[in-house]
Amino acid sequence: MKATKLIAIILFTAGVSISCVKQNLPDPGTLPTEKQKLADSKVPDDFNWSTGKNVELTITGLPTIIPVKNTLTISLPDGNKLYNAYHEMSVNLKLTLVVPATVSVLKLKYGSFDETLNIVNNKAEFSFIPVIPQEQE
Amino acid sequence: MKNKIFSLVIMAILFPIAVIAQVTLNAESGNIGVDAGNCWKFQGMSYISSAGDVISGTFSLRSGQINNHSITNTYLKTPWMKIGTGNITFKIKLSSGSAPQSRGIRVSYIPYNASSPTTSYEGTAVTFHSYDYANVSDLSVKEISVPIPAAIENSTVVYRIMVSFVGQTGSGRILSDDYVFPGIYWSNPSNSCNPLPLVAPPADADGDGVPDVDDEYPNDPYRAHNTYFPAFSQFGTLAFEDNWPKKGDYDFNDVVVDYNIKTVTNGNGNVVEVIFSFILRASGAVYNNGFGVQLDGIAPNKVSMVTGNHPGSLPSAANKTESGQSYANVIVFDNFFSLMTRPGVGLGVNTDIAGPYITPVTQQVVIKFIDNGVAPPGGTLTLAQLSSAVYNFYIFINRERGREVHLPDRSPTSLANTSLFGTLEDSSNPVAGRYYKTINNLPWAINIVEGFEYTIEKIAIDQGYLHFIDWATSAGVQYPDWFMNKPGYRVPEKIY
């Protein structure tokens, strides 16, 4: 009987003690609790450890009747220019651009052309040759 | 054999575009888009190559089914032209159809109307020639020859010529080919096909072929445009560990350098110079580390001269690129601490909060490719050839030239000590193009294109940036913005 009381007192005291301890729990999202360390991490083989990504941009030229030159500008959506040079419209161009990994579109300007190019699988493309709906059979 | 789609009869130079005295169309491009891109207009038309329908060559034009006499239902229009003199000629032929009642063509001119942008500056069409089939069962080729009206011949203003295909009832299309329009092509495909300037070309003070309005250096014949990486007035950050081939402490502050790259091109689109702005921010290192950049794939003789770098005693070629390299290399500095002296408190510079803050040093390095219009021995480079992906930055540890550390999977220079690959924690495999990674693909260098604030000495980057590991282990898919100052992203006291 005494032993039972003693155990009950001990358990009660322990419970009170634990419940009175200040809960210094970390603010979720502010401290790396239980997280693995970088040194122990395994990372995918093809990761480039850059916040940028290489985007291959292909521009198909238009075989023009006469030489046509203008300023070709490739920009990020915020307007920052990644490529800015005088360009002959008939020339095919392949560029590798480094852009922030979060960017999903590029902007192209050339004379009156003002295009938005989607980046798909790190590739983007544009053709100066328009697609014309042809009269069907 | 047919001529090219546009036969060039007379060519003269007129900024920025040459002119020709005859405009032709024969569909031999095989792609109606190519001719539309050159400012032809088509409505209800296609290019065909079926043997029974082709008039000459491999392709001809074919109208859609014709069911009215409107000249704006099925047509082709020339680009804007300065009309010449003589006859417009072309060939037409009816394709087989069932019970067509009538078929014919109309030829009209369209004046330029500067006050009508909604019609692409086209005024009201004036029809000056009609041809109607007397026998709609006649499937022979007809050669059409139409004199240019006196009202528009030898014009100093521009017109389009429109050929319309008309008729009523039944089925049956009109095939056509080998159009010749006397006159001078006067359209600009890069400007919505609007007419070229009718009087003076745009001003070009330095004569480099780039109009002043487009020229960032209007009075410099050797320069025309600027391109920046990562962006104008923005800096990326390179952060290195210097214990390679051993693992480091992953604080990525042994060498911290910000970079901005300005590339200047000329009127031909060739690179004139590259101006690097480096900001030396920190080096939490015992070692005296150097820093350089390789231009991957670019031969040293493509460079005219390098200025502003500090190679120390490392040997340079006459153009100040590093000697003994297959690709152009520039040693930006051979020892970080020769440019930013250790304060004597803490391990290095600007990583230990016990030490004083040392104002970062900005170093400008210029690689000149074309010097006052003179190309280097190796020839010129286009901006596409010298894109931002070419720059391969690295450190070399404690002035030991061969002990390079690059970003993961960037190739070493010719002077790297390849015997260190695969030793200790490095698992490089040159045969597989694998470089500067551990067996678990951990790096010795990272590149934050948007720039970032590094952690303090001995604090691994993942302790300061709580989503760094998420970002890395997901190959960049999760938390691509891990470096940003967002709630729950950082531990501020662990960041310098």
- For position B201, what pLDDT does the model report? 80
Q: What span, in angstroms and rounded, lies between the C-alpha atoms of A97 and A113? A: 20
Residues B173 and B100 placed together within one structural domain of the fold: yes
Residues B296 and B336 placed together within one structural domain of the fold: yes
Residue B460 contacts A, CB cutoff 8 Å: yes
B201 part of a folded domain = no
CATH of the domain at A94: 2.60.40
Q: What span, in angstroms and rounded, lies between the C-alpha atoms of B180 and A113? A: 29
Instruction: Please name the helix (run of DSSP H) or strand (run of DSSP E) that holds residue B264, with its range, or none.
Output: strand B255-265
SS3 for B443? strand
A87 part of a folded domain = yes
> What residue in A sits closest to B385 (Cα-Cα)?
A95
Query: Across-strand partners of B275?
Result: B262, B366
Residues B225 and B152 placed together within one structural domain of the fold: no
Cβ of A83 and B227 within 8 Å? Answer: yes
> ipTM of the assembly?
0.87
DSSP per residue, A1-41 = -HHHHHHHHHHHHHHHHHHHS---PPPTTTS-TTPPPGGG-
- For position B171, what pLDDT does the model report? 83
Interface with chain B: mutation pick from A33, A34, A37, A38, highest number of B CBs within 10 Å: A38
Cβ of B382 and A42 within 8 Å? Answer: no
A111 part of a folded domain = yes
Q: Residue B267, CB half-sphere, CA atoms under 13 Å: how many?
A: 19
> What residue in A sits closest to B63 (Cα-Cα)?
A135
Of the candidates B316, B298, B295, the residue with the CA atom closest to the CA atom of residue B307: B316
* Secondary structure (H, E, C), B214-262: HCCCCCCCCCCEEEEECECCECEEEEECCCCCCCCCCCCCCEEEEEEEE
Phi, psi of B390 (to 5 degrees): -75, -30
Range of the domain at A115: 52-127
Residues B166 and B222 placed together within one structural domain of the fold: no
B223 part of a folded domain = yes
Residues B178 and B325 placed together within one structural domain of the fold: no
Exposure letters B396-435 (e unless 16+ CB within 10 A, then b): bbebebebbbbbbbbbbbebbeeebbeeebbbbeeeeebb
A96 part of a folded domain = yes
Residues B160 and B298 placed together within one structural domain of the fold: no
B381 part of a folded domain = yes
B489 part of a folded domain = no
Cβ of B491 and A31 within 8 Å? Answer: yes
- pLDDT band at A136, cuts 50/70/90? low
Tokens of B387: 């894109």
Residues B453 and B382 placed together within one structural domain of the fold: yes
B119 part of a folded domain = yes
Residues B292 and B238 placed together within one structural domain of the fold: yes
B202 part of a folded domain = no
Of the candidates B74, B268, B246, the residue with the CA atom closest to the CA atom of residue B173: B74
A38 part of a folded domain = no
Nearest to B189 among A64, A78, A83 (CB): A64
How confident is the model over B374-394, as pLDDT tens digits?
A: 999 999 999 999 999 999 999
A63 part of a folded domain = yes
Instruction: Please name the helix (run of DSSP H) or strand (run of DSSP E) that holds residue B127, with its range, or none.
Output: strand B126-132
How far is the first Cα of chain B from the last one, in angstroms, to the nearest whole number? 74
Cβ of A42 and B441 within 8 Å? Answer: yes
A72 part of a folded domain = yes
Tell which of B185, B206, B232 closes a domain: B185
Chain A residues inside the 8 Å CB shell of B389: 54, 96-98
User: How far is the alpha carbon of A106 from chain B, nearest alpha carbon, in Å?
Assistant: 14
Contact B144, B89 (CB under 8 A): yes
Q: How many CB pairs under 8 A join A and B?
A: 230
Range of the domain at B127: 12-185
Chain A residues inside the 8 Å CB shell of B384: 83, 93-95
Chain B residues inside the 8 Å CB shell of A115: none
Residues B181 and B221 placed together within one structural domain of the fold: no
Residue B274 contacts A, CB cutoff 8 Å: no
Interface with chain B: mutation pick from A30, A43, A56, highest number of B CBs within 10 Å: A43
B196 part of a folded domain = no
Cβ of A51 and B480 within 8 Å? Answer: yes
Tokens of B310: 């500090």
How many domains, chain B? 2
- pLDDT band at A35, cuts 50/70/90? low
A14-to-A2, A4, B180, B345, B492 alpha-carbon distances in Å: 18, 15, 103, 49, 37
Sequential pLDDT tens for chain B (496 residues): 444 434 333 333 344 444 449 999 999 999 999 999 999 999 999 999 988 899 999 999 999 999 899 999 999 999 999 999 999 999 999 998 777 889 999 999 999 999 999 999 999 999 999 999 999 989 999 999 999 999 999 999 999 999 999 999 888 899 999 999 999 999 999 999 999 987 778 899 999 999 999 999 999 999 999 999 999 999 999 999 999 999 999 999 999 999 999 999 999 999 999 999 999 999 999 999 999 999 999 999 999 999 999 999 999 999 999 999 999 999 999 999 999 999 998 889 999 999 999 999 999 999 999 999 999 999 999 999 999 999 999 999 999 999 999 999 999 999 999 999 999 999 999 999 999 999 999 999 999 999 999 999 999 999 999 999 999 999 999 999 999 999 999 999 999 9
Query: Across-strand partners of B63?
Result: B45
Tokens of B443: 């790096």
Which residues are CB-contacts of B51 (< 8 A; sequence separation ≥ 6)?
none
Residue B6 contacts A, CB cutoff 8 Å: yes
Residues B33 and B131 placed together within one structural domain of the fold: yes
A29 part of a folded domain = no
- For position B5, what pLDDT does the model report? 39
How many domains, chain A? 1
What integer is the mean pLDDT of A47-68? 96
Burial class (CB in 10 A: 0-12, 13-18, 19+), B253: buried
Q: Residue B274, CB half-sphere, CA atoms under 13 Å: how many?
A: 27
Which residues are CB-contacts of B204 (< 8 A; sequence separation ≥ 6)?
B15, B210, B211, B212, B215, B218
C-alpha angle with apex B186: B181 to B192, nearest 5 degrees?
120
SS3 for B151? coil
Tokens 């300061």: give the residue: B464
Nearest to A45 among B194, B226, B441 (CB): B441
- For position B491, what pLDDT does the model report? 97
Tokens 């500095």: give the residue: B333
CATH of the domain at B49: 2.60.120.260
Residues B160 and B227 placed together within one structural domain of the fold: no
Tokens 């010097």: give the residue: B371
B473 part of a folded domain = no
DSSP per residue, B391-411 = EEEEEEGGG-TT-EEESTTPP
Of the candidates A69, A83, A68, the residue with the CA atom closest to the CA atom of residue A117: A83
- pLDDT band at A34, cuts 50/70/90? low
Phi, psi of A106 (to 5 degrees): -120, 155
C-alpha angle with apex B342: B339 to B348, nearest 5 degrees?
110
Residues B366 and B422 placed together within one structural domain of the fold: yes
User: How far is the alpha carbon of B315 from chain A, nearest alpha carbon, in Å?
Assistant: 31
Of the candidates B161, B193, B196, B5, the residue with the CA atom closest to the CA atom of residue B83: B161
Which residues are CB-contacts of A62 (< 8 A; sequence separation ≥ 6)?
A68, A89, A90, A127, A128, A129, B34, B37, B38, B189
Which residues are CB-contacts of B130 (< 8 A; sequence separation ≥ 6)?
B104, B105, B106, B107
A74 part of a folded domain = yes
